């Protein structure tokens, strides 16, 4: 029996009454009603009234292989029929968990061969935070507890994720910021370093890490966590000088390096992991979103051989989730990775889509509202300013980036705004023609806002 589709008005009413949304102002929701998305195929999604949008954000940076892949539905169905669930606690495992752990180990940078599963980027960062502190306890250095991270970074919404992140509003809500977290200047040249060359600024931003370590004392610092390229915080590729110096500093002061690859993992930068793009050798690498292309909630924390040797000698690992290695989510991830390999999606991003996307993005560099166009692979951002020459910013209450996003929805494209930055992260299968369409429409939207601003 086919169900009659509910009307948008009826859905919005029920939504307002019963659905508490993440990162949403309930008052604005009550006034305007939610945007109800009902269907997706390839790079496109449709709302409940049949309006089509080119999704320039791949959902939330996650639907890397695009919407509506039937092969994943089939694989998930057969996994549910075979074994819908079993846990990985108390010495148990399922074949699907084992196959995925082995597959991930074959893709991660050398030496990251021990895979702990979760269901979200946030819980992966909780896992990493607990493991690094446990590691230092086992090494007889129990004071090494503080984790350093970057201002503007997003690492999730659990208490640990929000504490790691550098978003003041998240720290404030519920008095979330815990002791044992320190935030330092990110390698964000446009915001913090325009008075010097990118190379010099990269060194200065890396020096901020060493300064923070020295200030607290290396004996008190467990780890530094960062994304190879900051994603949600504004798509901020670091200057070339940054990562080599950061890694030297971590080694010098015995500070573990956690790469949060929740966005940059699985092809986004044109390699399987952003760590390859920037030659980063982390002790822990976290992944989520692109691991299953958002088809099922799954995350993984890849731990280095050296770290795992210490952890293994330390007795039971008192950590885990009912759904760690959920077989159905593992099946979705395995099929996603199979598709990515068979269709050479990472190579496509590296050789075709990524270069085309970056060229189109750079065409905005001399737009009268754009201070900087930046990105890597299929990640991009436009920094909107009132006067690019003087670097004069718009007042936040002007909401210029959000207004561009709203115009995007009116014109059939999806972008995202943070501060005065417009962000792009389309499905990795986007064609060059679709990239042209995305940026043609984005230009129209920015031009319209520029006209309104006079
Ligand atoms: N880490 C990074 C870099 C992210 O971008 C996100 C989410 O956007 C997270 C962690 C949190 O992931 P989740 O929303 O799955 O908890």
Which residues 6+ apart lie within 8 Å of 21 measured at CB? 29, 34
Measured CA to CA, the distance from residue 291 to residue 287 in angstroms comes to 7
According to the model, what pLDDT value does residue 2 have? 58
Give the nearest ligand 1 atom to 230 CA. Answer: 3
DSSP string, 264-290: TTTTTTSSSSHHHHTT---SEEEE-GG
121 C-alpha vs ligand 1 centroid, how far in Å? Answer: 4
Paired sense of beta strands 146-150 and 181-184, if any: parallel
According to the model, what pLDDT value does residue 210 have? 98
- Closest C-alpha residue for ligand 1 atom 12: 121
CB 294 near ligand 1, within 6 Å: no
For 121, the token pair is 């980027």
The residue whose CB lies within 8 Å of the most ligand 1 atoms, and thus the one to mutate among 160, 289, 321, is: 289
The residue whose CB lies within 8 Å of the most ligand 1 atoms, and thus the one to mutate among 117, 152, 155, 296, is: 155
262 C-alpha vs ligand 1 centroid, how far in Å? Answer: 6
Of 379, 334, 371, the residue nearest 354 (C-alpha): 379
Q: What is the pTM of this model?
A: 0.97
According to the model, what pLDDT value does residue 11 have? 96
- Express each pLDDT in 158-215 by its tens digit: 999 999 999 999 999 999 999 999 999 999 999 999 999 999 999 999 999 999 999 9
- Residues of the chain predicted below pLDDT 70: 1-3
Measured CA to CA, the distance from residue 36 to residue 409 in angstroms comes to 12
123 C-alpha vs ligand 1 centroid, how far in Å? Answer: 9
CB 291 near ligand 1, within 6 Å: no
For 254, the token pair is 């015995």
CB 154 near ligand 1, within 6 Å: yes
CB 121 near ligand 1, within 6 Å: yes
Exposed (0-12), middle (13-18) or buried (19+): which is 47, by Cβ within 10 Å? middle
Measured CA to CA, the distance from residue 379 to residue 203 in angstroms comes to 23
According to the model, what pLDDT value does residue 1 have? 52
Instruction: Give the CA-trace dihedral at 397, 401, 403, 407, to 10 degrees.
Output: 180
Whether 243 contacts 226, CB under 8 Å: no
CB 260 near ligand 1, within 6 Å: yes
Give the nearest ligand 1 atom to 123 CA. Answer: 16
Give residue 124's region: left, alpha or beta (phi > 0; psi -120 to 50).
alpha
CB 423 near ligand 1, within 6 Å: no
Q: How many CB atoms lie within 10 A of CB 276?
A: 17
CB 109 near ligand 1, within 6 Å: no
Of 301, 316, 313, 305, the residue nearest 89 (C-alpha): 316
CB-based burial, 306-344: b 16+ in 10 Å, e otherwise: ebbebbeeeeeeeebbebbbbbbbbbbbbbbbebbeeee
Q: Reduce the DSSP state of residue 257 to 3 states and report it.
A: strand
325 C-alpha vs ligand 1 centroid, how far in Å? Answer: 18
């Amino acid at each position: 029996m086919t169900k009659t589709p509910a009307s948008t008005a009826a859905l919005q009413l029920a939504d307002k009454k019963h659905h508490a949304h993440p990162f949403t102002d309930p008052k604005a929701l009550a006034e305007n009603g939610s945007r109800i998305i009902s269907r997706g195929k390839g790079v496109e999604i449709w709302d409940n009234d049949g309006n089509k949008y080119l999704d320039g954000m791949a959902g939330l940076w996650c639907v890397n292989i695009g919407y509506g892949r039937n092969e994943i539905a089939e694989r998930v169905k057969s996994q549910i029929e075979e074994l819908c669930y079993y846990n990985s606690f108390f010495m148990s495992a399922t074949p699907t968990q084992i196959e995925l752990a082995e597959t991930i180990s074959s893709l991660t940078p050398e030496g990251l061969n021990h895979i702990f599963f979760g269901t979200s980027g946030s819980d992966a960062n909780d896992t990493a935070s607990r493991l690094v502190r446990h590691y230092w306890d086992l090494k007889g250095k129990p004071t090494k507890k503080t984790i350093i991270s970057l201002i503007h970074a997003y690492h999730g919404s659990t208490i640990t994720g929000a504490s790691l992140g550098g978003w003041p509003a998240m720290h404030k809500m519920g008095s979330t910021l815990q002791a044992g977290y320190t935030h330092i200047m990110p390698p964000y040249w446009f915001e913090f370093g325009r008075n010097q060359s990118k190379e010099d600024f990269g060194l200065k931003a890396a020096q901020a890490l060493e300064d923070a370590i020295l200030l607290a004392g290396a004996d008190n610092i467990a780890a530094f966590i960062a994304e190879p390229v900051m994603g949600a915080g504004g798509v901020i590729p670091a200057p070339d000088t940054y990562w080599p110096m950061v890694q030297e500093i971590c080694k010098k002061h015995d500070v573990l390096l956690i790469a949060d690859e929740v966005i940059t993992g699985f092809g986004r930068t044109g390699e399987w992991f952003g760590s390859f793009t920037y030659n980063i050798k982390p002790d822990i690498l976290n992944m989520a979103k692109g691991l299953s292309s958002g088809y099922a909630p799954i995350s993984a924390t890849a731990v280095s051989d050296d770290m795992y040797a210490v952890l293994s000698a330390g007795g039971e690992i008192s950590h885990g989730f009912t759904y760690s290695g959920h077989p159905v989510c593992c099946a979705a991830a395995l099929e996603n990775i199979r598709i990515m390999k068979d269709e050479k999606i990472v190579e496509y991003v590296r050789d075709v889509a990524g270069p085309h996307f970056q060229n189109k993005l750079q065409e905005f560099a001399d737009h009268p509202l754009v201070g900087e166009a930046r990105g890597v692979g299929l990640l991009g951002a436009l920094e909107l300013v009132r006067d690019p020459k003087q670097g004069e910013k718009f007042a936040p209450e002007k909401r210029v980036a959000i207004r561009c996003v709203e115009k995007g929805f009116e014109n059939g494209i999806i972008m995202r705004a943070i501060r005065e930055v417009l962000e792009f992260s389309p499905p990795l299968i986007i064609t060059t023609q679709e990239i042209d369409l995305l940026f043609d429409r984005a230009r129209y939207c920015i031009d319209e806002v520029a006209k309104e601003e006079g």
